[in-house]
Amino acid sequence: MAPVNTPVPQGIPSPPPVRIAVDTNNSLWDRLSNWASENKGVVYTIAGITLVVGAGGAVYYFSNDSRDSAADTAATKRKRQRERKRAKERAEKDSAPEKSAESGRSMQTSDKDVH
CA dist 79 and 71 (Å) reads 12
Q: What pLDDT sits at residue 4? A: 65
Per-residue CA distances from 22 to 28, 29, 35, 36 (Å) = 12, 15, 14, 17
The dihedrals phi and psi of 28, each to the nearest 5 degrees, come to: -60, -40
Cβ-Cβ contacts under 8 Å for 8 (sequence gap 6 or more): 14
Mean pLDDT by 10 residues, the chain (115 residues): 64 81 81 94 97 96 70 81 91 75 57 53
pLDDT, position 73: 78
Is the pTM value of this prediction over 0.75?
no
Q: What is the pLDDT of residue 74?
A: 80
